[in-house]
Amino acid sequence: MFKKIILLFSIPLLMLYSGCSSNQESKIIGVWELTRMDALPGEYPLEQWEFTADNDILKYEVTEIERNLLSVGRWGITKRNRLNVEKFELGFNGDWTIVKLDNTVMRIILPVVIEGRNAGQVLKEFSRSQ
């Protein structure tokens, strides 16, 4: 009887948990422009990260004239609801904590570990590109 009760409550929780991951993925898909704290409005170059529905991640440098592809990798949402980036650019691969994600802003943090010790973190903030 006890096992049936646990099973009865665990199935909806698993469905809710898997739904959150899927929801996060759909929110991430698209082109995101890196927020530059040191830039004046309209100043170039811009950096964009594009998350595709096929789980590719593409990094671009955008100038007034052109858009240049700089790096290609893979992305996905882990069971722990983190943004996993692989095969991308040195220093950006790993499990990013999603601090904020909505239709207009994405803020992610990657812990930096050197020789097994915490050495800080990388913070990236983006706004959805129009």
pLDDT at 22: 64
Total domains in the chain come to 1
Q: Domain containing 104 — which CATH number?
A: 2.40.128
Torsion, CA 80, CA 122, CA 24, CA 76, rounded to 10: -70
Planar angle of CA 81, 20, 22, nearest 5 degrees: 90
CA distances from 75 to 6, 82, 85 (A): 33, 10, 5
Planar angle of CA 74, 121, 40, nearest 5 degrees: 85
Q: Which two tokens stand for residue 127?
A: 């706004």
Of the candidates 108, 50, 35, 117, the one whose C-alpha atom is nearest the C-alpha of residue 78 is: 108
Tens-digit pLDDT profile for residues 93-127:
999 999 999 999 999 999 998 898 988 999 999 99
CA distances from 120 to 13, 69, 87, 109, 112 (A): 34, 28, 22, 10, 5
Q: Give the span between the Cα atoms of 84 and 73, in whole angstroms.
A: 10
- With a threshold of 0.75, does the pTM exceed it? yes
Domain that residue 43 falls in: 2-128
